[in-house]
Structure 1
Amino acid sequence: MKLAVVGGGSTYTPELIDGFARLRELLPIEELWLVDTDPDRLRLVGGMSERMFRAAGHPGRIVPTSDLVAGVSDADAVLIQLRVGGQDARQGDETFPHECGCIGQETTGPGGFAKALRTVPVVLNVADVVRRHAKPGAWIVDFTNPVGIVTRALLQEGHRAVGLCNVAIGFQRRFAKLLGVDHTEVALGHVGLNHLTWERSVAVGGIDRLPDLLGAHLGELAEEIELPASLISLLGSVPSYYLRYYYAHDEVLREQLNAPTRAEAVRKVEHELLDLYADPSVDTKPEQLAQRGGAFYSEAAVDLIASLTGDRGDVQVVNLRNDGSLPFLPDDHVIEVSATVGADGVRALPIEPLPADLAGLIGHVAGYERLALDAAVHGGRDRVLRAMLAHPLVGQYERAEKLTDLLIAGNREHLAWAK
């Protein structure tokens, strides 16, 4: 099997390499091509990846390259993990919304919209190369945020794509630990849009253990997602920590205005990681990588690619077409739910009807996402303004206008239509 990672110079990549090395019986990679436009990162991350494979006794060949065509040619699957504009652009995403009293976040709200505008055209260009040069039927696995919007962009253009996020697998591992069972025994009733999800059930042996978890560990779970225990009790489900940007927007904004940005913290960690990757004696995943984020990312990626290429037919949480699963959304919208995964694709499991508050918020954000994708594909200030106004965390015309102009001014070099 040949696997290509586009954005392979990311400091995340050794997390992937660790999973590929540990789980090589599940995913027998013969060639792993790391594609990146940054030669320095490619050299450091590529060297580190090669040492990790050798130290683990993995027989696969790792090939760092800046040549996208060579990297994806004859690949069985291509994983895309890009950050267009790097941490500098992320710093902007996390700060410009503050000028209008909105949270600054790289996947949610105005900052997430900016990331989508920068990212969608680049990912679609990559996907076109994959379509021409990878093996017929090769899968594209999108780990590039905002995953829901980017995955829909790919599917809209007819690509064989599925989106991946590590939120669900993190919850699965956490719930398994609290219940004292192996994570493979835990099936989640995970539902929503990417970074807008709730865990509505936690089944072990076909029995929903969520009531037990809420009874015995409510305070602990509330502390982890930084939301009130009373809110979790009211909902009867466990929201993703990304719901804090909605349920506690003003509190989060106050915190952001009085603390360094996440981009600044990540930049510091990345410098430390790159120094470690440059050390020829380092051949195992550094502890500092845990601070970079992406917990269990490698396990999720291995599981997904193994099932897509090996036709295991197991259940995983992925981003896929709605196709009637949530009847209040268009069929072509992308949702994040539990699904069966096999060589012929992904199919959502049946979903119990959602309460009106969850369905309403999902529908509102989905409306924004559709307008955001239209703006990302076709460009134009009016499209950006309309999508900005539609976001539930914006919702006021004067604010949306100012945010639109700030977004365009700060991202002009990445927006072909705005140059």
Structure 2
Amino acid sequence: MKKFILTIAGAGSTYTPGIVKSLLLNKEQFKLEELRLYDIDGERQGKVAVIVKKVVEEFDPEVKVTLTTEPEEAFKDVDFVFAQMRVGGYKMRELDEKIPLKYDVVGQETCGPGGMAYGLRTIFPMIELIDLVEKYAKRTHWIVNYSNPAAIVAEAVKRLRPRARIMNICDMPVGTMRNIAAILGCSREDLTVEYFGLNHYGWFTKIMVKGEDRTAEVREHARKHGLLLEDMSKIDVQHSEPSWVKTYGNIKYMVDMFPEYIPNPYMQYYLLPDHIVAHMNKERTRANEVMEGREKKIFDAVDKFNTTGEMDLSAFYVGVHGQFIVEVAMSLVFDLRKRFLVIVENNGAVKNLPDDAMVEIPAYITSNGPEAIRVGEIPTFYKGLIEQQLACEKLVVDAALENSYEKALQAFTMNRTVRSAFQAKQILDDLIEANKAYWPELK
């Protein structure tokens, strides 16, 4: 059996133990020779690695585990890199969320001004990562990228490193599919969906279960309950948290007004921004919820282990985030041609969107990368929304590449979460001050 060397870049993430467990649960098909953990924050990575090592010890002790902050050691001769960098950490995420909220604008890590701020921090570090992997890894390597905001990152990579061996993915659609499957009483693997949009900006148009169209059932449920079940903790512990319950619940308003398709949950930020802001706590955002919840739970488990030698592996869980990235990697390496929702260059797949748009649509994942499935033409309402968001994302990348304050202001003004150019300028100027250590200089 072929064995693989795999590096997780951004291994200080609290998602890392779940990803590692997902990898090791598939050891009979996708056997690791070595797992490398790479992060520029060695201290944080070291804490997370305590749990990772216990997971490896329990599920596949044959795997060599290497911790490093050195790129050559991280990427030398690797087969796969799973990228999940968070530039600026949760400290900057909190500012991404709270600065827009000062002006009664959506505060969210990947959508609205917060997402654009995060994008401006991430573009060049992602390009640097691609170059390092290209320099040291095997020629057949693949980067499977979770780093957010995926739409802006994918647009920048397409322009700056068009030949990069990278798959840009997001677990939001597959997480939504998990909820849909629970509503329909089937497994996620039984679903085949049709979908179009941009990352965090799309719609499910058809939902099939083993060839049977069950879209109407999902639509009816969504109009009454959103994509919630009575007890969300039964399908996903993380997504039973209050902010996620609101997110999945808000789908009912969008489906009631626009019943044709089932929206990506994050469409709430663009279609219901006033409602979202009215129900957000400006002093305690999702960043605080994560830091006080998932992050604290993991680091408390590490502290307990260091003190007592006892490890509580229930401090993390394996959700669709970890499962999905492993499923994509396996389809890449074994040419499984499995169908997933991924981010690809349009090239006519959505007939009435620009060919160079980085769209999120179904594709077959092969050893040569994704083969997009054609969607055809989309209705005017959705086309117009997507084109506005696409222009916004392109302007963010323009601003980074051209060091252009004007392009950044245009991007912030164009975003549907922002009501006026005055408001856009206030938020942009505050974010420039907060991101001095991270953003390219905007002139």
TM-score range, shorter chain: over 0.9
**Residue 284 of structure 1: how far off its partner (Å):** 6.4
Judged with a 3 Å threshold, the aligned counterparts in structure 2 of structure 1 residues 256 and 177 are, in CA distance, closer, same or farther, namely: closer
Q: Structure 2: how far apart are the matches of 1:15 and 1:148?
A: 24
**Aligned-partner SS, 1:219:** helix
Whether the 8 Å CA contact 2:12–2:39 is kept in 1: the answer is: yes
- The match for 1:232 is 255
Q: Structure 1: how far apart are the matches of 2:95 and 2:71?
A: 28
**Residue 34 of structure 1: how far off its partner (Å):** 0.7
Residue 431 of structure 2 is aligned to residue 407 of structure 1: yes
**Aligned-partner SS, 2:206:** strand
Q: Structure 2: how far apart are the matches of 1:307 and 1:329?
A: 28
- The match for 1:42 is 45
* Equivalent position to 1:57, from 60, 71, 83: 60
Residue 225 of structure 2 is aligned to residue 201 of structure 1: no
Q: Structure 2: how far apart are the matches of 1:243 and 1:18?
A: 31
- The match for 2:408 is 384
- The match for 2:180 is 175
- The match for 2:301 is 276
**Residue 49 of structure 1: how far off its partner (Å):** 0.8
Matches within 5 A, 1:267-416: 267-269=291-293, 270-278=295-303, 279=305, 281=309, 285-287=313-315, 289=316, 295-394=319-418, 396-416=420-440
- The match for 1:138 is 141
Q: Structure 1: how far apart are the matches of 2:392 and 2:341?
A: 23
**Residue 163 of structure 1: how far off its partner (Å):** 1.0
* Equivalent position to 2:20, from 17, 20, 38: 17
* Equivalent position to 1:27, from 19, 30, 37: 30
**Residue 395 of structure 1: how far off its partner (Å):** 5.2
Q: Structure 1: how far apart are the matches of 2:437 and 2:44?
A: 22
Whether the 8 Å CA contact 2:207–2:215 is kept in 1: the answer is: yes
Q: Deviations over 1:269-289 (max 9, x none)?
A: 3133112134165556434x4
Q: Structure 2: how far apart are the matches of 1:399 and 1:52?
A: 48
**Residue 89 of structure 1: how far off its partner (Å):** 0.5
- The match for 2:233 is none
**Residue 18 of structure 1: how far off its partner (Å):** 1.4
Query: When the two structures are aligned, how many residues end up with a matched partner?
Result: 415
* Equivalent position to 1:162, from 162, 167, 175: 167
Residue 117 of structure 2 is aligned to residue 92 of structure 1: no
* Equivalent position to 1:67, from 24, 46, 70: 70
**Residue 127 of structure 1: how far off its partner (Å):** 0.8
Which consecutive aligned stretches of 4+ in structure 1 deviate over 6 angstroms post-superposition? none
Whether the 8 Å CA contact 1:121–1:377 is kept in 2: the answer is: no
Q: Structure 1: how far apart are the matches of 2:332 and 2:252?
A: 38
Whether the 8 Å CA contact 1:188–1:203 is kept in 2: the answer is: yes
What runs of 5+ residues in structure 1 fail to find an aligned partner? Answer: none
Q: TM-score, normalised by structure 1?
A: 0.93
Q: Structure 1: how far apart are the matches of 2:58 and 2:395?
A: 48
**Aligned-partner SS, 1:128:** helix
Judged with a 3 Å threshold, the aligned counterparts in structure 2 of structure 1 residues 38 and 276 are, in CA distance, closer, same or farther, namely: same
Whether the 8 Å CA contact 1:14–1:285 is kept in 2: the answer is: no
**Residue 98 of structure 1: how far off its partner (Å):** 2.0
Q: Structure 2: how far apart are the matches of 1:25 and 1:317?
A: 25
Cα RMSD over matched residues? 2.1
- The match for 2:104 is 101
Judged with a 3 Å threshold, the aligned counterparts in structure 2 of structure 1 residues 66 and 210 are, in CA distance, closer, same or farther, namely: same
Judged with a 3 Å threshold, the aligned counterparts in structure 2 of structure 1 residues 54 and 361 are, in CA distance, closer, same or farther, namely: same
What runs of 5+ residues in structure 2 fail to find an aligned partner? Answer: 229-244
